[in-house]
């Protein structure tokens, strides 16, 4: 049976969560959605900073890297969802940032890259 795109995405999100925990982060929330605006894959905490994490993956044979799929419009949506998260959780004066974690599958083995404080 062929793995669906959602199943692959869920597996990469699990790997990202494991990576973040091993790196000292705590996971606050997963798949936080703001209506039709969008979703943040992972909300984590690193020390005093709340981190909104986007997870992307591609196969080595794809012509576009996972980093290239995170365009300005996606970052703008993440920012809106993050602002909504802060609002509904009544978080003021909270340090926060957006990170992107990418995976490229090479011969079936995922290579991970973690980009911190991606500019919006």
**How is the chain split into domains, by residue range?**
5-115
- Report how far residue 92's alpha carbon sits from residue 77's, in angstroms, rounded to the nearest whole number: 20
With a cut of 50, say whether residue 103 has pLDDT above it: yes
Q: Going by CATH, does the domain composed of 5-115 fall within 3.40.1350.10?
A: yes
The answer to whether 47 and 25 are in contact (CB under 8 A) is no
**How buried is residue 2: exposed, middle or buried, by Cβ count under 10 Å (0-12/13-18/19+)?**
exposed
Task: Supply the mean pLDDT for the chain.
Answer: 86
Mean pLDDT of 79-95: 94
Task: Please give the share of the chain, as a percent, with pLDDT higher than 90.
Answer: 55
CA atoms within a 13 Å half-sphere pointing along the CA-CB vector of 83: 8
Going by C-alpha positions, the residue among 11, 33, 4, 2 that lies closest to residue 112 is 11
- Band (50; pLDDT cuts 50, 70, 90): very high
Higher pLDDT, 62 or 75: 75
With a cut of 50, say whether residue 57 has pLDDT above it: yes
**Would the pTM count as exceeding 0.85?**
yes
Going by C-alpha positions, the residue among 55, 58, 78 that lies closest to residue 66 is 58
| Residue 43: predicted pLDDT | 97
Task: Please give the share of the chain, as a percent, with pLDDT higher than 70.
Answer: 86
- Band (60; pLDDT cuts 50, 70, 90): low
| Residue 10: predicted pLDDT | 79
The answer to whether 52 and 43 are in contact (CB under 8 A) is yes
Taking the CA atoms of 84, 90, 93 and 99 in sequence, report the sign of the dihedral they define.
negative
């Amino acid at each position: 049976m062929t793995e669906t795109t959602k199943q692959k995405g869920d597996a990469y999100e699990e790997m990202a969560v494991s990576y973040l925990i091993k790196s000292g982060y705590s996971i606050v929330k997963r798949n936080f959605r703001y209506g039709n605006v969008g979703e943040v894959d992972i909300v984590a905490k690193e020390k005093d900073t709340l981190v909104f994490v986007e997870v992307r993956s591609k196969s080595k044979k794809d012509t576009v890297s996972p980093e290239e799929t995170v365009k300005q419009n996606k970052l703008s949506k993440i920012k809106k969802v993050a602002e909504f998260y802060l609002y509904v959780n009544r978080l003021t004066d909270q340090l926060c940032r957006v990170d992107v974690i990418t995976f490229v599958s090479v011969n079936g083995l995922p290579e991970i890259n973690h980009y911190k404080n991606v500019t919006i």
